A and B are shown apart, each in its own frame.
Chain A
Amino acid sequence: GQQLNQSPQSMFIQEGEDVSMNCTSSSIFNTWLWYKQDPGEGPVLLIALYKAGELTSNGRLTAQFGITRKDSFLNISASIPSDVGIYFCAGQLWGSNYKLTFGKGTLLTVNP
Chain B
Amino acid sequence: GAGVSQSPRYKVTKRGQDVALRCDPISGHVSLYWYRQALGQGPEFLTYFNYEAQQDKSGLPNDRFSAERPEGSISTLTIQRTEQRDSAMYRCASSPAGGQGDTQYFGPGTRLTVL
Contact = CB atoms under 8 A, between A and B. Distances in A.
Co-assembled chains A and B: yes
B18 interface: no
Interface in A1-16: 1-2, 4, 6
Interface in A76-96: 88, 90, 92
Interface of A: 1-2, 4, 6, 30-31, 35, 40-45, 48, 50, 88, 90, 92, 97-105
Interface stretch (B40-48, B64-72, B79-87): B40-48
B45 A100 contact: yes
B98 A43 contact: no
Contacts of B91: 42-43
Given A31-B100, A42-B106, A44-B106, A99 B56 contact: yes
A62 B42 CA distance: 21
A28 to B, nearest CB: 14
A104 B43 contact: no
B99 A97 contact: yes
